[in-house]
Structure 1
Amino acid sequence: MKTSIRLAVIYGSTRKGRICDRVVKWLTQELVRFPQFDIEIIDPLDFALPPDRDMAHPEIDRLSGRLGMADAFIIVTPEYNHSFSAALKSTIDLFFEPWQGKPVSFVSYGGISGGLRAVEQLRLVFAELHAVTIRDSVSFSAPWSRFDVAGRLDDPSDALHTLDRMMARLEWWTRALIAARGDHPYADIAA
């Protein structure tokens, strides 16, 4: 039997009244169909992160520990002004090692582009952090009219098909990278 994959779902928005809550609810309800993943939700609002990036702060240690335990990530990101949020960038930039040699996939939302411009920029950021981004992503245009407050999506068939493909590829990359990190710790290869 294959071992479970620890998957961290990370909120990309901290705005009051954020649509991210609805999208994450939908995603976590659908991820139940993938029992090979143990899901952990990471919401930056659950951490009292210091504004001055004091790396000795206990909340940074707590967040670092949760990110470090993950085998893979799904970033749920809005698109703000053709990019991703400052809150997400701040969360990502606090750390280097928890992302290394791990796969990252994306669920995005926004206006007509469905958040894909934010995802394209995030791919550049994660490449710099030595993470592997999954080509397939799930995106939602005009999410404010597609999700209800409970996270139910109108006409979910296309999104479910895309999510199934993304999760299959995320599992493949995660298992390949777990094996690679087990054979040769990533930090050792460029030492």
Structure 2
Amino acid sequence: MAGNGAERLRVALIIGSTREGRAGGRVGRWFAGLARQREDIAPDVLDLADYEFPVCYPCAATPQMRRFTAAVARADAFVVVTPEYNRSFPASLKQAIDYAYDEWHAKPVGFVTYGSGSLGQYAAEALRPVFTELHAVTVRNGVGLDLLAGEPERPDGDGGRARAVRAMLDQLVWWGRALRQARDQRPYPV
């Protein structure tokens, strides 16, 4: 999709798993590579494994918390890359999401989920009400990967994965531009 002369959308790609031996880094790099091919997106990878967040929520934000929250504030839109753990998403992701509040408002969120058999779709469904509570808009289409099938090593064998990525990013860009323009014109009411 061409950029139509409009400023590129700043999209934070949040890799939500911090487990040792995780697939999240590989999935995140695969998706970031596809996002970088688009002229309408400027991706910024926020890998939660690169942050040293406190074990317990502190009284005052730490420098790492402030760094993450500032990156969320700069973004126009988000893509959350997450595994499905026990029909939900990782605690590391919930902890990071909770560090910000106003920074999520009136911005779109897309999901790249992965799992074994379910494509990680339960993680996306568990995240939708979380982001709704944060006044964010989740896009309808997402990308699901089945790690038992060897994805994302061969994600486009039939073209279906490429279509899913394109549809989700097209929706994210549409919402991202519309909401950025709306935020520029007037503050979001809470």
Is TM > 0.5 for Structure 1 vs Structure 2? yes
- Alpha-carbon distance between aligned partners in 1 of 2:155 and 2:17, rounded to the nearest angstrom: 19
Deviation (angstroms), 1:183:
1.1
Alignment of 1:1-191 (within 5 A): 1-54=5-58, 55-142=60-147, 145-148=150-153, 153=155, 155=157, 157-186=159-188, 189-190=189-190
- Alpha-carbon distance between aligned partners in 1 of 2:130 and 2:12, rounded to the nearest angstrom: 18
Q: Would you say how many aligned residue pairs link Structure 1 and Structure 2?
A: 185
Deviation by residue 1:31-55 (Cα, 9 ceiling, x = unmatched) = 1221211110001121111222223
Give the 3-state SS of the residue equivalent to 1:130 in structure 2: coil
Identity %: 39
Deviation (angstroms), 1:176:
0.5
Counterpart amino acid of residue 48 in structure 2? P
1:26/1:153 contact within 8 Å kept = no
Deviation (angstroms), 1:56:
2.8
- Alpha-carbon distance between aligned partners in 1 of 2:185 and 2:78, rounded to the nearest angstrom: 21
Counterpart amino acid of residue 82 in structure 2? T
- Alpha-carbon distance between aligned partners in 2 of 1:145 and 1:132, rounded to the nearest angstrom: 31
TM-score by length of 2: 0.92
How has the CA–CA distance of structure 1 residues 143 and 173 changed in structure 2, closer, same or farther, with 3 Å as cutoff? farther
Deviation by residue 1:35-87 (Cα, 9 ceiling, x = unmatched) = 21111000112111122222331111111111110000000010011111111
Give the 3-state SS of the residue equivalent to 2:39 in structure 1: coil
- Alpha-carbon distance between aligned partners in 2 of 1:126 and 1:143, rounded to the nearest angstrom: 28
Deviation (angstroms), 1:147:
3.4
- Alpha-carbon distance between aligned partners in 2 of 1:125 and 1:143, rounded to the nearest angstrom: 28
2:139/2:168 contact within 8 Å kept = yes
Structure 2 unaligned blocks of 5 or more: none
Deviation (angstroms), 1:156:
5.9
- Alpha-carbon distance between aligned partners in 1 of 2:173 and 2:74, rounded to the nearest angstrom: 16
How has the CA–CA distance of structure 1 residues 6 and 130 changed in structure 2, closer, same or farther, with 3 Å as cutoff? same
TM-score by length of 1: 0.92
Counterpart amino acid of residue 25 in structure 1? R
Provide runs of 4+ in structure 1 moved above 6 Å.
none
Deviation by residue 1:83-139 (Cα, 9 ceiling, x = unmatched) = 111111111112111111100000001021101011001001000000000000000
- Alpha-carbon distance between aligned partners in 1 of 2:97 and 2:148, rounded to the nearest angstrom: 24
How has the CA–CA distance of structure 1 residues 56 and 93 changed in structure 2, closer, same or farther, with 3 Å as cutoff? closer
Structure 1 unaligned blocks of 5 or more: none
2:155/2:162 contact within 8 Å kept = no
Question: Aligned-pair RMSD on alpha carbons?
Answer: 1.5
